[in-house]
Structure 1
Amino acid sequence: MASTPHHPHPHVALIPSAGMGHLIPFLRLSAMLAARGCAVSIIAAHPTVSATESDHLSAFFAAYPEIKRIDFHLLPYKKSNFINEDPFFVQFEAIDKSTHLLRPVLSSLSPPLSAVVSDLPVLGSIARITEDLSIPTYTLITTSARFFCLMANLSLLLAAGDVNGGTIDVPGLGQVPVSSIPPPMLNPNHFFSATIAENTLPMPKLKGILLNTFTWFESEAIEALNGTGLAPILPVGPLQPLQTVQGGSNLPWLDQQAQESVLFISFGSRTALSKEQIRELGAGLEKSGCNFLWVLKGSKVDKEDNQEVEELIGEGFLERTQSKGLVVKGWVDQDQVLGHPSIGGFMSHCGWNSVMEAARLGVPILAWPLHGDQKINAEVVEKIGLGLWSSRDWGWGGQKLVGRDEIADKIMEVMMDEKVRDRAKQIKERACLVRDGNGDSELKLQEIIRSCIKET
């Protein structure tokens, strides 16, 4: 889309944190701002946790040379007193403890900054700097509006404590099952809970809170957020895909498959099932008889993922299923795969990027949430009718070994459900409407850009 005529170009700096779930929406927003006439700088932490992040950044800047890359070299990590064993959360901490190094960077960029968009895990530290420098500041929330409601009401959740598997009444959302709230969120000594508490504090003073969702898709949660006293809530999703294509294309194989016949299976960039669960999933796929494209991970961090496919999935699986499916390791362009006409369903952990991609492309989801915000996101998917939640009885990742029979039944259910398929196509139409010239999400993005122009 052309930039607004006869105005100076506002300069926006974006500061993502760690993991592809955070990096992708920041890169997409950066490209969208640049396409609409903004000068854009991305401040990228170095080194990254995963090789995929590093490769994706390189490919992005090659495809978008007009966007400025600023590498932010982190100080050596010093462990805090909070419970934190997750390598991506460790990176959150490392970035946060190094943010003071960004003060001279933010103050000296040319042209001067019109605005900063910070990731939530480092917002508190960034906001202190930008307030001193009088730079308007936004945050981009990389989860659902519904889960962000829980973040905004963290003190209420902590006060409720352990309610023995019951529910917690969240303003605007009603009764939320405790079983859907990630346990670390209810432990004030855990880094996950502590970082939410710290980084939601500056939110009432922000210029705005951007969400990768759209009002029709999460109307209840967005209405609830508008009544919390936070900065203006600005749903600007679904964010548009990038021009870059990461990893090898699997489209030639998909081209040979019948329309809407293939189940795409991916649990995201930082989720790895146990070897036992991988093999049960494989057996469930075989029993279902469904065509499939399966992105397989053997460890949370890709640099440590050195097991061969056959070792993970079991001897003979690839030979037995060679006429039905394809198993790949490594990064694939998920948006490109989901947009292929042969894809008829998506078995997903319900990371929010995945949910928004499925909504934008009209692909039914079979939700298998495993950790973090994913059960709350699965509730959104189920409520709006974009797909089916496999089963609440499957628990958090690793709590239960889900058997092949249950898996096969759920696969066949989602792939044969015409009602869900029709609903997914309706959602796709709604997602397209909000991105057109007069769509709600597009108008909000233009409003942000106009506000940045006033600051220039």
Structure 2
Amino acid sequence: MAPPHVALFPCSGIGHLIPFLRLAATVAARGCTVTLITLHPTVSAAESDQISKFFALHPHIKRLEFQPLSFKKSKFFNEDPFFMQVEAIGNSVHLLDPILSTLSPPLSAIISDLSVASSISSFASDKSISTYVLVTTSARFFSLMLLLPKLAALSGIQENGHLELPGLGPVPISSIPPPMLDSNHFFSAVINSNIPCLSNVKGILMNTFTELESASIEALNSGRIVPDLAPVLALGPFDSFEFEKAPNLPWLDEQAPESVLFISFGSRSALSRDQILELRDGIEKSGFKFLWVLKANKVDKDDKEDAQTILGESFLERTKKQGMVIKGWVNQDQILAHPAIGGFISHCGWNSVTEAARLGVPVLAWPQHGDQRVNAAVVESAGLGLWAADWGWGGEKLVVGDDIAAKIGELMLGKDLRARAKEAKEIARKAREIGGTSDGFLRLLAEELKLQEI
């Protein structure tokens, strides 16, 4: 019997691409034939670089390059370059139908990004191809997405109010991204248009694990969030698709164990110039060693200024023994795995949260937009880190250097916090081992895919 043939289709942005690459490598390792659908062109250089690296490391995985139609402005508010590409993809999915029909061997299943799930599942079902959806956020935020029609009616609630949601407990209104409550915004529209198909797909795959989000996963699978939802399979935390190796950073190799603070706000978040300067001052005042991935523009292709121009030559000179500033893409997974890293200032994109959990690094959560405040609540409730909730959304207020320095000290000197992060690492390891919760879900997925071939 031929192995099942699975296609994976991620949407725009490195935060969506990375979990798809990791899942593609995992599914291929389980004996499936895998085709990865990649976008051309990508919005960011980081996406293009990661795709090239992935296929160099995994030549047995097939590549299908897809060029969506040009973006045309719709009635929805959409000025984010990544969302603009997602909207263009959604308007172009019909072009994939004849292409996928010619693949050999024929497809057994498609694992789709949530952003295009409705269109993919529609033409896949006509061809008896099973559809799975990979959701790239936390189970907690996904639960909110499922309840969006109800949430939209709550837009007039005062910001200091709370929602009591099944399986989630109280969720502050202030943690729900404003675009999600705006029916004229593309972020809200793309959720609303794709949620209805989730009762018809074969399964919903998530880069989380039961022990990290037990209440949310149980609520999703019990029907308490919404009835008739497809089974949620918590497969995470996903392993890196690259072979384990140390980052090429000699300075980091020279530092004492757990002595360095790692600062990164992900691939789509850029602090304001004023906030970058306050963060600079807070890092220096804290006195801790640091490795800072500096980003001044949302899209990396537009990020032209060097660190000296942004931070000032005097800062770099004063702190040359204290720390290191990097402009450009880094392999965050490899840095977090380095024994010198003792803490992580993060925007709490979900990939960053799961990497910190898998590698046992305590987090200082500083959410900027989207799902990140809800994810920060997961970090805090799981004991994986701290969340300065009064700092608000990114750009909502200017957080001063003294406050940042104080939180850095709390993070880096917190022995109990570090111990809890190490416990999370051990729990994540057990979840992925044979007999663990995530391994069980992965085995179930593998068996389902094999059944498609019978």
Q: Distance in 2 between matches of 1:452 and 1:97?
A: 29
Structure 1 unpaired stretches of 5+: 1-6
In 2, distance between residues paired with 1:251 and 1:125?
44
1:249 matched to 2:247? The reply is yes
Task: Quote the Cα distance in structure 2 between the aligned partners of 1:344 and 1:174.
Answer: 31
Q: Do the aligned partners of 1:10 and 1:449 also contact (CA within 8 Å) in 2?
A: no
Of 140, 145, 149, 1:146 maps to 140
The DSSP-based 3-state class of the residue aligned with 2:153 is helix
Q: What is the match of residue 177 of structure 1? A: 172
1:260 is matched with 258
SS in 2 for 1:168: strand
Give the alignment of 1:121-140 within 5 angstroms: 121-140=115-134
C-alpha separation in 2, matches of 1:114 and 1:427: 36
CA displacement, residues 28-48 of structure 1 (integer Å, 9 cap, x when unaligned): 000011111110000111111
Deviation at 1:161, TM superposition (A): 2.2
TM-score for the superposition, normalised by structure 1: 0.96
Partner of 1:446: 443
Structure-to-structure mapping, 1:336-415, within 5 angstroms: 336-389=334-387, 391-415=388-412
Cα distance, 1:8 vs. partner?
A: 3.2
Q: Assess if the C-alpha contact under 8 Å between 1:157 and 1:168 holds in 2.
A: no
* Partner Cα distance (1:66, 1:252) in 2: 33
The answer on whether the counterparts of 1:160 and 1:168 sit within 8 Å (CA) in structure 2 is no
What CA deviation, in whole Å up to 9, does each residue of 1:354-383 have, x standing for no partner? 000000000000000010000000000000
Match of 2:46 among 39, 48, 52: 52
Write the distance in 2 (CA, Å) between the matches of 1:57 and 1:244.
Answer: 15
The C-alpha deviation readout for 1:105-162, integer Å capped at 9, x for no partner, is 2222111111100001111111111111111000011000000000011111112222
Match of 1:300 in 2: 298
- Pick one of 159, 163, 176 that aligns with 2:157: 163
Q: Which amino acid aligns with 2:119?
A: S
> 1:4 is matched with which residue?
none
Greater mean deviation of Cα atoms: 359-368 or 106-115: 106-115
Cα displacement (A) at 1:336 = 0.4
In 2: Cα distance, 1:338 partner to 1:76 partner: 38
Greater shift, 21-30 or 301-310, is seen at: 301-310
Hey, what does 1:327 align to over in structure 2? 325
Residue in 2 that maps onto 1:210: 205
Give the match for residue 76 of structure 2. Answer: 82
Please state how far the C-alpha of 1:245 moved relative to its aligned partner. 8.5
- For the residues of structure 2 that align with 1:105 and 1:252, how far apart are their CA atoms? 47
Is 1:23 matched with 2:17? yes
Question: Counterparts of 2:257 and 2:169 in 1: how far apart (Å)?
Answer: 40
Alignment partner of 1:420 out of 411, 417, 435: 417
CA distance in 1, matches of 2:250, 2:450: 45
Q: Is the 8 A contact 1:49 1:88 kept in 2?
A: yes
**Does 20-29 or 223-232 show the bigger shift?**
223-232
CA drift of 1:244 comes to: 5.9
* AA matched with 2:236: G
Q: Distance in 2 between matches of 1:13 and 1:173?
A: 33
Question: In the alignment, is residue 93 of structure 1 matched against residue 91 of structure 2?
Answer: no
Rounded Cα–Cα distance in structure 2 between residues aligned with 1:378 and 1:444? 25
Report deviation, 1:251. Answer: 3.2
In the alignment, the residues of structure 2 paired with residue 218 and residue 288 of structure 1 have an alpha-carbon distance, to the nearest angstrom, of 33
Report if the CA contact (8 A) 1:60-1:244 is conserved. Answer: no
Q: Distance in 1 between matches of 2:248 and 2:292?
A: 11
State the shift of 1:174 in Å: 2.2
Q: Structure 1 CA distance, aligned partners of 2:430 and 2:206?
A: 17
Q: Distance in 1 between matches of 2:170 and 2:242?
A: 41
Structure 1 CA distance, aligned partners of 2:164 and 2:190?
22
Residues 262 and 292, structure 1, Cα contact 8 Å, conserved in 2: yes
Runs of 4+ that moved beyond 6 A = none
> Equivalent of 1:277, from 266, 269, 275?
275
Give 5+ residue unaligned stretches, structure 2.
Answer: none
Task: Please state how far the C-alpha of 1:312 moved relative to its aligned partner.
Answer: 1.2
Residue identity matched to 2:214: S
Give 1:10's aligned amino acid: P
State the shift of 1:184 in Å. 0.3
Matches of 1:376 and 1:350, distance apart in 2 = 9
Give 1:314 deviation, angstroms: 2.4
User: How many residues were matched structurally?
Assistant: 448
SS in 1 for 2:196: coil
CA positional deviation for 1:250: 4.2
